[in-house]
A and B are shown apart, each in its own frame.
Chain A
Amino acid sequence: MTWPRLWRDPEPKPAYDAVIVGGGGHGLATAYYLAKEHGITNVAVLEKGWLGGGNTARNTTVIRSNYLWDESAAIYEFSLKLWEGLSRDLNFNVMLSQRGVLNLAHNLHDRREAIRRVHANRLNGIDAEWLDPTAVRAFCPILNIDAGARYPVLGATLQRRGGVARHDAVAWGYARAADARGVDLIQNCAVTGLRRNGGRIAGVETSRGFIKAGKVGIVAAGHNSVLAAMAGIRLPIESHPLQALVSEPIKPVLDCVVMSNAVHVYVSQSDKGELVMGAGIDGFNSYAQRGSFPVIEAQMGAVIALFPIFSRLRMMRSWGGIVDVCPDASPIIGKLPVDGLYLNGGWGTGGFKATPGSGFVFAHTIANDAPHPLAAPFSLERFTTGALIDEHGAAAVAH
């Protein structure tokens, strides 16, 4: 049986009301909500490779909303609520699995920080629990919580509504739904320049010719600095490799997500049975979609200490993506200092979970030429005013 095409493969038109640069989850969601929420359908998504082939395809799909500060809690929780209705909204199964996310505490500082975060989450209406070691063992029996363990477990936070989703399905679902509302999805079309007319955006130079645009939204993840530089704009972003890997498939053994900031590893089990594992970024700047082996070595050491049961497993594949990291581990969503030019980036190691909310608030920001209230605190100006949103505690291990 041949599978039907999910979206058209149009030639670029000479002009659009809005052009979105980057066909990852965030760009596709932006286009979908521009059409659905704001009736703006003369829109193109320009993708230099194939849809969802960047970090969307490479991420480890952890979804949660238990961030510390009010601004982050608001946008990530808004996003989680959209996830909860997304398969129905898109009529596409994004395979959201709310299996619960544990964040382990290994020392007194971890424990205090984690309990503080549970309280902060609850004040923001986000489900959060503190589990003592016995409760952790009951929730995740294969975790080593013995007193003599290399990394003693003093407890864990649990967000039961957190979990994982199917990365590709999110991109494909948004792509199909955006296409159905008239959005042109144009692959193999790299943006090579941003043409300005005075202080206003005029359009984009691409590998397939100039395309006129009323508004341009940059959603290029690891390449946001490169895009912004085309308009002479400097960003507080640096691009780093972030790696992940999967084991050979085994029978179901782990039915939740376990993360550890202190020893820098996190793990879940895919529906195919593979253990999906990730860790922190490589410390140097890179656009190479690959990192160094010592990062993998360190995370495997940590995972085996936490889960001795995994020690005989073989790893099958490892890969890297390029993540755009901000100094305060929070994204930048808003207007840039060129009229009609907008940025949604800096999601770094943790933007997959935000895909629906990010697209929603960015579409609003573009449509109204003013930030959505949930996006307003995440402006580029915060680096000038000093109103940073420091989420290193809640976002320290990459996820």
Chain B
Amino acid sequence: MSSSAVDARLGLLTYKNDHESHISIKNQDVCANQCKDKPCVALCPAAVYTWDDVKKNTKVQYENCIECGGCRMICPYLNIDCHWPRGGFGVAYKYG
């Protein structure tokens, strides 16, 4: 249910996508070896983060980001670097 619950919602939004990501995982080893319950995957309101169980890494779909800033606090290992997109890029709400 969750993925469709978020996909349809993100489909309503307008983005101006930058070619470079404003989000990065500082150290994938931390995700693979230390992080048990992956709170970024559960709690990001735009499903930016997914856990790839084959490659054992956290995938970041920065294009989905709606810039709430929560991920930096959610990560128990402070392993997410999320800064603002360059000026004018990213999500552009029509209502807000």
Q: Do A and B bind each other?
A: no
